[in-house]
Structure 1
Amino acid sequence: MADTPMCRARQSRGNRTVLPFPNVMTRLRVNEYHVLHLFDTPKSFPIVITLASELWLILVDKQREEKKKKPRKIQPKPTTNGVTNSREKITERESRDLRDSRDSRESRESRESRESRESRESRDSREIRELRESRDEIEVEIRDRRGQTSSPVPRERERDRDREREREREMRDERREQSTPQHDGRHPLLQFAVDHFRQSPELEILKADSSLKSKAKRNEWTWKAQTDVVKWQATPLRAPLLRLPAALAPPALECFTCVRAYCGDLQPAERAMHQDMTEVKCVYTVLMHCHSVPELRDEVYCQLMKQTTSNRSATQDSCQRAWRLMSILASYFTCSDTLRPFLVEYLSAAAADRRRPCQGTAAVCLANFRKTLRCGGRKNVPSVEEVTAVSAGRSARRQLYRLPGGAERVVNTRCATVVQDIVNELCELIGVTSEAERAEFSLYCIVAGDALTMPLAGDEYVLDVTTELQRAHHPFYLIFCRSVWHHPLRADAPPLYTEVLFNQVAPDYLEGLLLVLPGGNAPAAGVLRDAALVAALLHRAAGLPDAPHPRDLKFLLPKPLLALREPRPAKWASWVSAEWPTVRTVTPAAAKSKVLQVLSRWPLFGSSFFAVRRVGGAGEWREHVLALNRRGVHLLHPATHDTDAHWPYAELISTRKVRSEDGTLFLDVKCGSLLQQRVTRLQAEQAHEVARLIRQYIALQRDQRDQRLDTAFSSQ
């Protein structure tokens, strides 16, 4: 066989016949002039022959498929010698049965081969399209070589090819829309609604029906109806968005009515029915339902996401108010694990889009929701003033916080602000940036008439505390103090840092809590000199330019020193006057810093003091002063402050709070080693605070020890 393109095409196709090129020309409707020009180029002739052969084979295959589709007609056999053919004797009923069986067999075969035929037709159409494109490229190449300026390809063919591509693109987009959308992050609520929303009755009927007709309708189903479910809605819901039990449908629909009423989207007829539905009542109703029925939280979140999506309300601030209501809800409740990633993604996308007018409120919603995930959410319903402020767009409230010494600072407090946020902001104000050092500061709530004070927990919401006290009409104030003194004083601290610590230490010093009187006698000479120097510094810290008068000494010296017989007041006056020239020129701020430096050398500096009772050897209770500082736990004599018992934190094993039948609170302190342990029971009204401070000191020392070990290992 000759080595020609036609022969190679025949070898590649087996025994199938390749018709001559003129027939292919006729099938392709190629211009005669065009073909003659193709033959003028010897290099293009083998390519044209091969392409035409391949195309003709495809056309032959299509003709065979069309012949298979056509039903075969049964021709009666001719009769001879007056004998009737056997098929003519078939009754009408048998003929009908035969025809029905043939039709059913053909329909079954057609159904079985429909998928394979469609795939084969798509493959053939793709091959034809590729052949046409290759042919056009060859023609363009021939035209360029011959220097032609006009295109031999008819413009109608180009337009047909463009229309065919556009039609294929539309079909591809339609198939993509009909397929299930993946989690691409652009439409989180729509993706959640596909699997978890209650579908429309028409779609539910189509899903339940398994007939071919319903499948065809399902294939024609578009996502327009689904997207309408997740968009803003002006009318009431007929059923909850989620698949909730029937018993939860009324409260879910009531929540949606409250959402629409809060946003101002009620119809005139609905406004007449709900005239008493104020914005405060709407918020309280939604929070009440979400608190009593946790299953409704996802429903309300979905309703709010729906009302903030494509909001077309006639009310100008409808979308903004929906976001504000979501910010209130996000500071109280979380959602299910199923909805959480979609909700966080929805809030993150809205908070990151600067084109949205509600970007700031969306960022507040996201921050409130994350705070709720970490701290558990608020516990008390908001006050009327808080709801009114949030509804008006004022998300922050100006709250006063006191510092030691009576100074006040205003900090903007939001719905989701917790105690640790306030502590961090005030620490930043006084220049404390270390996370470990910030843990030594606390926020206390001082209530009028309450002798006991406890620091507020770090994850407690500030507005929960203030709202509860305001409703009870209890006067109170919030004060920022240092509760643990583990880290040393900072030499490069700003003036406000020194002011805060000085105003906290000075009252304890003047009360004599830092002073130790061995056996009830006068302290050592060094302590007396320090007391005289501190007295002069306190006088200068008050901003007084003249030397202190002897009658001022009762305000400058600790009370236990003034009660001693020796030294006499005249002696104290001379000692303080001798120290005055050295401190007269210093500034009040420097004088306060010097006081802290002098007192930091005393053993009880930085201690927290508690009045406790301890059982003695004879079974009787003895009064003690419990001092907690960085050196450990000290049981002191109430008058002289002599140490009766001391336990380093390394020897403390555990603490346990016990309440007796009469309500007395005790604290059991277990100390010792693994081989020998001892439990000391202390009666303390502030046992909770004592146990908290002991745990905090132990944790700080453990962290410091681990840090030293890490440093030692790294150096080695």
Structure 2
Amino acid sequence: MPKYNDNVQMLGISHSGVRLIKRTRTSTTDTLQVIETFLLEEILHVSNVRVHTIDIRIPGKRITLHSHRARKIKQMIEIFSKETGQISCFARAIRDHHSRLSQPDCLTFRTGDVIKISKLRPMPDGWLYGAIDNREGHVPVDHVRIISQQELCKKHGKTSPLTSSDPLKSSSLGSLSGSRTFSEMITSASMDINNESRPTHRDMSPVCTLPGTYSMMEYALQNFKIPHRRKGKKSWKNSEWTWNDYSDLIKWSKTPIQAPLLRQTSSEMARTARQCFIAIMRFMGDHSMGKGQSEIDCIYYLLKLTNNKSSKADSLKRGWSLLSVVTNYFIPNEALRPYVLKYINDNITNSNKEAQTCLKHYNQTIKYGGRKNVPSKSEIDATSNGRNSKRQTLLLPGGLPITIQTQPSMVIGDCISQVCDRLNITNLLEQDEYSIYVISSEHTSRLLNPTEYILDILSECLRTNIGEYHFIVKRLLWYFLPLKFDNELFINSMYNQIMPDYLDGTMIIVQKHEFTDERVQEISLLAALHHYTSKKVALPSMREVKYLLPTALLALKSVRPQDWTSYVHQKFKTIESLSILEAKIKVLTILQTWPLFGTTFYTVQYIDHLSVSSPCLIGISKNGLLFLDKETHESLFSIPFNDIISIRRHQNTVDIKYGSLTQPNLIQCQIDKAQDMVALTGRYLSLIAQNRPERKNDHKTYNDPISTIL
């Protein structure tokens, strides 16, 4: 490159600026020395005045360079300038601003000063970050307006805008045309911000994004209607709107909006938008209630986020309360979603617990789809008064009460997690073995889906007037065995759930209508332990022994009642040194070694299998499906879970496909409670799949315990 002056021999271009460089060569060294540097933002104009000549204009200086690559240099400067223009722009002060002792970070400037605005530094709504020469600081948005290329050139003595025949027609400031509004200068909402591919010059449309990321001001510029220009304002000398005019649209107002704020709002929605806004103001206490209206009526309307600076002391708090209710039911559309998240996160402080609640509700709604039932008046009153938790009593097996703290966004799965924490069950997959039922005084019960909201269930119970009801926690799956006895509450709940099944005789296998002596002694010990856990110190009578034995044994004549009583008395004398808790642990330790421990049984009325006679029992355990003799509980046929291809239910008929995929076997059977049987099988299959080594690191997912059809 020919010399620009006696020293400059080379030109360097990067995002940080343009450098004029001198190259010095000696016999031993070859060095580069930067003679002068200027920023890309300082370039006012760049053009090829001749084929091999490039002219660069910066404030107070004109640089002319001669090179056979002049056209290429011009294109490179324009490309880098455009990319640099994405992180900064210029604004002109429309009124004076002086920093105060209480605002040391603010920038002082006078009307007419040109300020360089940084777009990378995140700032709260209503503020920008700018610099004048070597001074920098916070700039209030209502004190400045974006200036165009023409205005900036005019300030430095150039009257015409940049022109060029090159496809890249403007420098970094060429995007700020004086005829463009703010809403035209921001990035399109449909742009893929995650696209990391380098755009071509055809894709590089002139844009000016706002500083920070996803501020409400940015959303307003992208989506709000441009208001009708107000005439008669002396300070307005052109058609540009200031930042202040848009910021007014997202600030608190003492009067309701007269028209929808969003663009392309249909005429049918205009009236609804005004009603929603008035309802929000009424809930927040900024507008008088209509005749016969209450706070709960206001909840039915959508919330439009605002910078609330109401003169009423509790208006802001009530606004956040309203937002916490709305985010528990709905999530914003994809365009508004990032702005809502940023707005909430920007307002999360130790003192603003309402914002933290909003974020929690938002995340739960994203995960579970939002609540379905309208909140009760008592819930609205509690939310308005800042009470976001409620004590709820659940019942463990045996009627053991356990109290948890429920919140509006909690689902049944969260309640199960709280209960499991109290039981010292930390494995998330093991927590999936537990479920919650709601049981009414009319003895009707319903198994609750882990994704249902607890307060939706409560409001449903109140609305249907089912009378007295209870939430019962039970263990449905028995995959993670053996049991661990490191928590007293866990031991008591397991004991209370297992003993009724044991006394019903479902765990007993009777071979040839007889018991071995070893099994007789074991059952006698269990009877003695069970009697001991009821805190009875006297030996049980023959009548009492009858209720300590499984019902299946009472019909057997191989052991007489007198013999059972004698055996139980002998065992009772050997356990008197145990504590009640130790006695329960001993019972559970013995029972979990039995083959049918942890098996759930259903009655099969009919089955089309040669080796299985009807009626029979089907048992579901961690080992698969077991078909058992109804009387003796001896195993007739089994299907491991790994062999199951599908299970489909048609009313009470269940089709089970198993074996090879190419030549599957099919069993049809009619089962009482077929829906529950299919659902339980599905939960076992899901748990087994999640517990595989390659799936252990996957996120926890809930499966519908009622409608799982494989």
What TM-score do you get using the length of structure 1 for normalisation?
0.67
Q: Which stretch of structure 1 is more off in the superposition, 568-577 or 676-685?
A: 676-685
- Give the equivalent residue in structure 1 for 2:590: 598
- Give the equivalent residue in structure 2 for 1:172: 115
- Give the equivalent residue in structure 1 for 2:329: 332
SS at match of 1:313: coil
> Which residue of the other structure, out of 229, 239, 246, is the alignment partner of 1:202?
229
- Give the equivalent residue in structure 2 for 1:226: 246
Structure-2 change in CA distance of 1:10 and 1:406 (3 Å): closer
Once the 2 structures are TM-superposed, how far is the Cα of residue 255 of structure 1 from its aligned partner? 1.2
1:262–1:282 contact (8 Å) kept in structure 2: yes
- Give the equivalent residue in structure 2 for 1:290: none
Structure-2 change in CA distance of 1:450 and 1:183 (3 Å): farther
2:214–2:338 contact (8 Å) kept in structure 1: no
SS at match of 1:583: coil
- Give the equivalent residue in structure 2 for 1:504: 497
Once the 2 structures are TM-superposed, how far is the Cα of residue 560 of structure 1 from its aligned partner? 1.2
Once the 2 structures are TM-superposed, how far is the Cα of residue 617 of structure 1 from its aligned partner? 6.7
- Give the equivalent residue in structure 2 for 1:385: 378
Once the 2 structures are TM-superposed, how far is the Cα of residue 496 of structure 1 from its aligned partner? 0.8
Structure-2 change in CA distance of 1:276 and 1:518 (3 Å): same
- Give the equivalent residue in structure 2 for 1:482: 475
Ranges in structure 1 where 5+ consecutive residues have no aligned partner: 1-7, 14-117, 127-164, 207-213, 287-299, 660-664, 711-716
In 1, Cα distance between equivalents of 2:113 and 2:573: 95
- Give the equivalent residue in structure 2 for 1:237: 257
Letter in 1 for 2:494: L
2:485–2:585 contact (8 Å) kept in structure 1: no
In 2, Cα distance between equivalents of 1:694 and 1:598: 26
Structure-2 change in CA distance of 1:541 and 1:202 (3 Å): same
Once the 2 structures are TM-superposed, how far is the Cα of residue 468 of structure 1 from its aligned partner? 1.0
Letter in 1 for 2:658: C
2:653–2:668 contact (8 Å) kept in structure 1: yes
- Give the equivalent residue in structure 1 for 2:687: 700
1:185–1:345 contact (8 Å) kept in structure 2: no
Once the 2 structures are TM-superposed, how far is the Cα of residue 517 of structure 1 from its aligned partner? 1.7
- Give the equivalent residue in structure 2 for 1:122: 59
Q: How does 1:347-358 map to 2 (within 5 A)?
A: 347-351=344-348, 353-354=349-350, 357=351
- Give the equivalent residue in structure 2 for 1:72: none
Once the 2 structures are TM-superposed, how far is the Cα of residue 624 of structure 1 from its aligned partner? 2.6
- Give the equivalent residue in structure 1 for 2:291: 275
Structure-2 change in CA distance of 1:371 and 1:571 (3 Å): same
**Greater helix proportion:** 1
- Give the equivalent residue in structure 1 for 2:69: none
2:485–2:491 contact (8 Å) kept in structure 1: no
Q: How does 1:55-74 map to 2 (within 5 A)?
A: none
SS at match of 1:380: coil
1:261–1:277 contact (8 Å) kept in structure 2: no
Letter in 2 for 1:349: D
Letter in 2 for 1:251: T
Ranges in structure 2 where 5+ consecutive residues have no aligned partner: 9-54, 64-107, 119-129, 131-143, 147-184, 186-207, 698-710
Query: Does residue 1:682 correspond to 2:669, yes or no?
Result: yes
Once the 2 structures are TM-superposed, how far is the Cα of residue 340 of structure 1 from its aligned partner? 0.9
Q: How does 1:308-319 map to 2 (within 5 A)?
A: 309-314=307-312, 316-319=313-316
SS at match of 1:602: coil
2:504–2:551 contact (8 Å) kept in structure 1: yes
SS at match of 1:202: coil
2:412–2:451 contact (8 Å) kept in structure 1: yes
In 1, Cα distance between equivalents of 2:695 and 2:276: 57
In 2, Cα distance between equivalents of 1:186 and 1:381: 34
Once the 2 structures are TM-superposed, how far is the Cα of residue 186 of structure 1 from its aligned partner? 6.8
1:671–1:678 contact (8 Å) kept in structure 2: yes
Structure-2 change in CA distance of 1:337 and 1:707 (3 Å): closer
- Give the equivalent residue in structure 1 for 2:282: 261
2:214–2:342 contact (8 Å) kept in structure 1: no
Once the 2 structures are TM-superposed, how far is the Cα of residue 226 of structure 1 from its aligned partner? 1.0
**Greater strand proportion:** 2
> Which residue of the other structure, out of 525, 528, 531, is the alignment partner of 1:533?
525
Once the 2 structures are TM-superposed, how far is the Cα of residue 183 of structure 1 from its aligned partner? 5.2
Q: Which stretch of structure 1 is more off in the superposition, 389-398 or 600-609?
A: 389-398
Structure-2 change in CA distance of 1:245 and 1:584 (3 Å): same
In 2, Cα distance between equivalents of 1:586 and 1:596: 15
Q: Which has the larger radius of gyration?
A: 1
In 1, Cα distance between equivalents of 2:686 and 2:6: 86
Deviations 1:442-474 (A, max 9, x none): 1122234355x4532111111111211211111
> Which residue of the other structure, out of 453, 459, 462, is the alignment partner of 1:461?
453
Once the 2 structures are TM-superposed, how far is the Cα of residue 192 of structure 1 from its aligned partner? 0.7
Q: How does 1:240-639 map to 2 (within 5 A)?
A: 240-243=260-263, 244-266=265-287, 270-271=288-289, 274-283=290-299, 285-286=300-301, 300-301=302-303, 303=304, 305-306=305-306, 309-314=307-312, 316-351=313-348, 353-354=349-350, 357=351, 359-450=352-443, 453-474=445-466, 475-519=468-512, 521-616=513-608, 622-639=614-631
Cα RMSD (Å): 3.3
Letter in 2 for 1:324: S
Q: Which stretch of structure 1 is more off in the superposition, 598-607 or 474-483?
A: 474-483
2:429–2:691 contact (8 Å) kept in structure 1: no
Structure-2 change in CA distance of 1:561 and 1:707 (3 Å): farther
In 2, Cα distance between equivalents of 1:525 and 1:631: 28
In 2, Cα distance between equivalents of 1:407 and 1:564: 35
Q: Which stretch of structure 1 is more off in the superposition, 406-415 or 429-438?
A: 406-415
Deviations 1:644-663 (A, max 9, x none): 3211112111111223xxxx
Structure-2 change in CA distance of 1:524 and 1:241 (3 Å): farther
What TM-score do you get using the length of structure 2 for normalisation?
0.68
Letter in 2 for 1:311: K
Once the 2 structures are TM-superposed, how far is the Cα of residue 313 of structure 1 from its aligned partner? 2.5
- Give the equivalent residue in structure 2 for 1:45: none
